[in-house]
Structure 1
């Protein structure tokens, strides 16, 4: 016997309970990654236990057991979160209360509580993510909860779940216009509007620290870091060598890790302040709109170099550091869209060496002796000595290009002397290995240098026209200070692998057994096309839903003819539409009340046909009473009509009442109704 047959044989109460448990599991499942392990395990156990009880029509546990479990849940929540208030602790409690409440499904009121907690849990998913997949899962869960709610209001018989689901879908469709109006017009007044953010959430992507070898792991992350739409003909980006999105600038070095001067770890390495920016731009700016994925840090990624502050949503502002790094007033906890303009030709930094430059030549003592020896050798070369810092840079790049160095994702684990191993032993590495070894050599040559992290390159999405930058495009490059020119970008990775910068070629992660098998079954081109379509769809969700700000609301009012729109205009328009919708709903309800259901209409037609035969019956008489009156007053000619009336009454209480109505209508049209007789009134 298959599963469908077994479910069909279950009592209605067991079937409805199992369906509700499946819906509850759908609401909770996306939260599993954000719950403590004990909460996820306990929730799964409770739901499975409740399903076992329902399937076997077994008695529910006593209230004392649920009380003990509730106390245990509160204690475990306190131990895990240190509190029972706040986002994470509150969501944990809500999920556990929902799971525990399923053990008390004894009456209809208990089911109503489960529905309420289910809707709240459904909304709690958006505390952690508003991504399109989560929204799709929650839409399915919403349909399931509404189906269970409609089914609970159909207490007679065994109505199929498909009937309740159709009614629930109809409710959702009827409510969709109102939901859309509320989304479009409800005033988004910062900082009241938005999701609460948890500063302790997971962090991905770039950080204010770079450990040698850590950035190579980002190439395995194919998620989107940012999207850009350029205000150029066709939305085309600038040349590949100009696609450097600036992130944290790292100055302090302890031998293995690089830190930004703002990081607490950098204070024990150098106490110097960064040199002033002295940014000078040339030519017309390149304007673009950038959509930044949440990374839980305040950094704003912009193209080098951005002089004017990016245009952030209302309630936020941006600040540029002396190292040309832009930061927002608060961490980026949700998708952020902003406009910026950058000058691809620029100079920055002092033209003459200042005391602040000492921070950019500091090296940890007793490390990388062979690199220091190489620096002394290069300084002793009279040709290089006369050329200054630029000659040293050119010599180092020539060594990288001609010395047999390789660009690799798997250079192995570096030891204590990271620069020595790269220059003399391994001769291979990812961008951070190359940039770090290059900067160490420059500092050993007394040339101020630092590391800049960010993203380089990207890929055009042909569907929506956005330039997409993935986490796998994370990059590290160097900046050196040259007298008379200031800070100059030098990308030593380009000397080792010119295609990395020129043609935006990326190293591919090694394919495992599963990946190789998938390539044999599914074309890599097809997978890439599917990925492009998905990224375009997801970008549309981000642009038109998650980034629907007050500015876009006011633009909508302008399109409707409002000259100088404000949030008060939004409130007035929203109030007018809500009142109009309420009035339309009231009129619809009045019209519905005056309508009779199909069964009542058919009964009324039978009453009218009997009245034509001379038998006037009161409207409250049921079909069985009408059949008895017809037999008593109209005799044998009324027997077919009496039998039809009994079948009509039987259909009213059948498992599928609507299924029999078409047949009864056809029989009604063919019935030999009694002919008109002398007018007599039947008395029930």
Structure 2
């Protein structure tokens, strides 16, 4: 059967369904669209139960079977409450609240008997759409919610057309026109409604953020991030020629790890590490040279206070209003609170810098410590490469570092995402057995080697490199760009960056290449249909659209509102100016609406308006006349129901007919208006008093 024949058959089949069945099936489809984006955020039992309930309700509507009794829905609601409590351990908070709302929406369809029930379903559907933004405010989520909103509006319009069988396409047109008419109001509110924290914004949970980095590093954890291709941040460089710095210089600094227990690295700045090792990091002592590199970062939420900047930022990043930034002794910039939503900030970094103490300091001893009894072969290798005892001069330290890097380059070591599980002696396994690993394996083994040779060393985690989007000029840094490198302390030079991964895999640092996980069957199938270049181009376009969404919608803060007011001519705008401007726009809109209404009233036929005034007077006396009744019919009904009291009104109505339709006419409109005002007040007909 051809496609046009199938469509004709489907249309014929739908046209044979009773209207109630058709409307119910359409509403169930819309409810499914409202609940679908929540499938990954509510418990699995909730999504499955909602799907079963909607399917059951659809079967009942299809077969025109009676709905279940009230006790069935009450028992199901009680079970949903119990399961929600078991899943979330509480009924308070937005996560259990969203779970309950989704269950209420699905259960309410089993009570869909009257228009009042439909109204409850509609408003629950609108609330469920808003609940989606608790979990994601991405462009894809907004597009899905917009389609579901249009479906809900269509069902709502259709429910207010009780007569006949109005086509759903007509209701869709009405709903779309309503949405378009409301778009200017939505735009004005978005631009000028004051964003006053903490009253503005979507509440977020401290534990729901996603971050590619952590305050600690277990061997193998960074390799897992290479499988995560989500965006960590976007960067726009403000270089004079428009060219970004070389990719080999793009080291975005995150947590610095200085404590090692054999399997896990911890930051020395963490209170638990300081309490355990009785040590604190030495001050940063940052010195910068040359012109700074200016750039703007749009950071994705991470539920961490980390502000990623290029090494090294001497000045605090320019954060949105209400935020503060401070630098840790390890040169990492931190915000005053965790980043729970998209944040945009400007920063300046110097690629030519020096930091850390210049001579031996007691605080550096913490960066020489190693767990006793672990990695004995690495310790022996350190003595061999260092030429005996630990080096004490800058020249010997530099020679030691160069010897270790040369071993990495020529010793058959390999950069891989799947090095397997490491045992107790992680450094020994890397240097002598496996000879393969991801960046954290290489960095960890290198720092253990340095410390075994008496050289202070530590691990720096963050992101390295990125990929420029040719569509909008932004550099996209992904979670898969997470990286771990090292810093070695040298006399008279302080902390010096040494990236041992560059000796094993130079292409990881200097070129925009990354290891990628093996594609599955679906990825291979897509690759055979669409060329890789086309896929990359489509991805670049989509990410540019997402970036614009982040820049102009999610990151439209109060600062940007005030910048908009400055562009409109205000010198020092405040949020009170926003309130006044919004109030003025509301008054102007109300006056404009009144003007349009008055204009429409004037465009109405004056004879019809005159008859409308007469009908209004008769209605006050208890006589209701239909708008379509002509003057002669109105006069007849007045004489029948009001008797002699209505005779003046009846004669006036006949005079209106004569003036409107008779050749030459009678009285004019102005005379008829005066005559209507002079008519005696009518009394209600007999039998209507009391």
Q: What TM-score does the superposition give when structure 1 sets the normalisation length?
A: 0.85
Q: Does 1:526 align with 2:520?
A: no
RMSD: 2.6
CA distance in 2, matches of 1:292, 1:268: 32
Match of 1:673 in 2: none
CA distance in 2, matches of 1:367, 1:501: 30
CA distance in 1, matches of 2:594, 2:475: 49
SS in 2 for 1:34: coil
Could you tell which deviates more after superposition, 271-280 or 141-150? 271-280
Cα drift, residue 403 of structure 1: 1.2
Alignment of 1:354-393 (within 5 A): 354-381=361-388, 387-393=395-401
In 2 relative to 1, CA 36–175 (structure 1 residues): closer, same or farther, beyond 3 Å?
same
Match of 1:67 in 2: 74
Match of 2:438 in 1: 430
Cα drift, residue 621 of structure 1: 4.2
CA distance in 2, matches of 1:357, 1:155: 81
Cα drift, residue 511 of structure 1: 2.9
Task: Identify which of 201, 207, 226 aligns with 2:208.
Answer: 201
SS in 2 for 1:338: strand
Cα drift, residue 236 of structure 1: 2.0
Cα drift, residue 234 of structure 1: 4.3
SS in 2 for 1:500: helix
Match of 1:175 in 2: 182
SS in 1 for 2:226: helix
Match of 1:271 in 2: 278
Cα drift, residue 217 of structure 1: 2.1
Cα contact 1:379–1:385 (8 A) shared by 2? no
Task: Identify which of 507, 510, 513 aligns with 1:505.
Answer: 513
Cα drift, residue 384 of structure 1: 7.2
CA distance in 2, matches of 1:211, 1:529: 36
CA distance in 1, matches of 2:460, 2:600: 68
Task: Identify which of 37, 46, 60 aligns with 1:39.
Answer: 46
- What CA deviation, in whole Å up to 9, does each residue of 1:394-433 have, x standing for no partner? 1101111111111122222222211111111111111111
CA distance in 2, matches of 1:71, 1:411: 50
Q: Does 1:556 align with 2:556?
A: no
- What CA deviation, in whole Å up to 9, does each residue of 1:193-212 have, x standing for no partner? 21111112153311112121
Task: Identify which of 232, 236, 239 aligns with 1:232.
Answer: 239
Alignment of 1:260-409 (within 5 A): 260-263=267-270, 266=273, 270-381=277-388, 387-409=395-417
CA distance in 1, matches of 2:211, 2:239: 31
- What CA deviation, in whole Å up to 9, does each residue of 1:547-593 have, x standing for no partner? 11111111111111112211111111111112222233344455667
Match of 1:154 in 2: 161
Match of 1:580 in 2: 588
Cα contact 1:255–1:367 (8 A) shared by 2? yes
CA distance in 2, matches of 1:203, 1:463: 26
Could you tell which deviates more after superposition, 418-427 or 372-381? 372-381
CA distance in 2, matches of 1:199, 1:371: 41
* Runs of at least 5 residues in structure 1 that lack an aligned partner in the other structure: 601-617, 627-675, 680-684
Q: Does 1:483 align with 2:488?
A: no
* Runs of at least 5 residues in structure 2 that lack an aligned partner in the other structure: 1-5, 609-625, 635-661, 666-690
Match of 1:643 in 2: none
- What CA deviation, in whole Å up to 9, does each residue of 1:462-501 have, x standing for no partner? 1111111111111110001111111110000111112222
Could you tell which deviates more after superposition, 69-78 or 310-319? 69-78
Match of 2:109 in 1: 102
Q: Does 1:461 align with 2:469?
A: yes
SS in 2 for 1:235: coil
Q: Does 1:495 align with 2:509?
A: no
CA distance in 2, matches of 1:136, 1:259: 42
Cα contact 1:259–1:265 (8 A) shared by 2? no
Cα contact 1:384–1:391 (8 A) shared by 2? no
CA distance in 2, matches of 1:461, 1:151: 45
Cα contact 1:290–1:337 (8 A) shared by 2? yes
CA distance in 2, matches of 1:111, 1:590: 35
CA distance in 2, matches of 1:513, 1:167: 44
CA distance in 2, matches of 1:419, 1:301: 29
Task: Identify which of 115, 120, 123 aligns with 2:130.
Answer: 123
Cα contact 1:253–1:269 (8 A) shared by 2? no
Cα contact 1:188–1:550 (8 A) shared by 2? yes
Cα drift, residue 376 of structure 1: 2.2
Task: Identify which of 185, 192, 208 aligns with 2:192.
Answer: 185
Cα drift, residue 515 of structure 1: 2.6
SS in 1 for 2:486: strand
Task: Identify which of 17, 25, 39 aligns with 2:24.
Answer: 17
Match of 1:410 in 2: 418
CA distance in 2, matches of 1:525, 1:341: 35
Could you tell which deviates more after superposition, 504-513 or 279-288? 504-513
SS in 2 for 1:337: strand
Cα contact 1:216–1:430 (8 A) shared by 2? yes
Cα contact 2:251–2:463 (8 A) shared by 1? yes
CA distance in 1, matches of 2:242, 2:291: 17
Cα contact 1:229–1:235 (8 A) shared by 2? no
Q: Does 1:58 align with 2:65?
A: yes
Alignment of 1:208-219 (within 5 A): 208-219=215-226
Cα contact 2:269–2:281 (8 A) shared by 1? no
Task: Identify which of 570, 574, 581 aligns with 1:566.
Answer: 574
Match of 1:29 in 2: 36
CA distance in 2, matches of 1:304, 1:439: 20
Cα drift, residue 262 of structure 1: 4.3
Cα drift, residue 84 of structure 1: 1.8
In 2 relative to 1, CA 500–620 (structure 1 residues): closer, same or farther, beyond 3 Å?
closer
Cα drift, residue 512 of structure 1: 3.1
Could you tell which deviates more after superposition, 120-129 or 62-71? 62-71
Could you tell which deviates more after superposition, 386-395 or 285-294? 386-395
CA distance in 1, matches of 2:28, 2:428: 61
In 2 relative to 1, CA 589–20 (structure 1 residues): closer, same or farther, beyond 3 Å?
farther
CA distance in 1, matches of 2:39, 2:538: 27
Cα drift, residue 70 of structure 1: 1.6
- What CA deviation, in whole Å up to 9, does each residue of 1:291-322 have, x standing for no partner? 00111111110000111111111111112110
Cα drift, residue 68 of structure 1: 1.4
Cα contact 2:256–2:459 (8 A) shared by 1? yes
Could you tell which deviates more after superposition, 314-323 or 373-382? 373-382
